[in-house]
């Protein structure tokens, strides 16, 4: 990975900045998703005969859940010293597979 060629401190800053951009995107998705869902309350789903608001709420709800997960990851990344743990490199993924017996 290109990020591993940078010094550790600069790499952590770059990772934090990129996570910040992702967080901002998710914020915009949630903000306008709630507006879109509010606009859908006057629409009616013909198949289920329910308001489209509830179906359109999937977008902002998912964005908020992703924001919480990303915020937790960013907090953990600040505490981590090893770049491989932050980047979830192949060695870490292989270790998790081996120890947990997972197949993904």
DSSP string, 33-95: HHHHHHHGGG-B-TTT-SBHHHHHTHHHHHHHHHHHHHHHHHHHHHH---HHHHHT-HHHHHH
On whether the pTM is more than 0.85, the answer is no
Q: What are phi and psi for residue 51, nearest 5 degrees?
A: -70, 140
Residue 47's pLDDT band, with cuts at 50, 70 and 90, is: confident
Domain locations along the chain: 27-78
The per-residue pLDDT for range 54-97, each reduced to its tens digit, is 899 999 999 999 999 999 989 888 888 877 777 776 666 677 77
């Amino acid at each position: 990975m290109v990020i591993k060629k940078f010094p550790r401190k600069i790499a952590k800053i770059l990772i934090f900045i990129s996570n910040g951009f992702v967080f901002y995107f998710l914020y915009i998705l949630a903000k306008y998703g709630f507006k879109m869902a509010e606009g859908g309350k006057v629409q009616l789903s013909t198949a289920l005969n329910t308001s489209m608001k509830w179906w359109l709420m999937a977008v902002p709800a998912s964005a908020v859940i992703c924001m919480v997960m990303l915020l937790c990851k960013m907090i953990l990344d600040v505490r981590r010293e090893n770049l491989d743990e932050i980047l979830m490199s192949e060695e870490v993924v292989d270790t998790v597979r081996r120890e947990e017996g997972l197949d993904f």
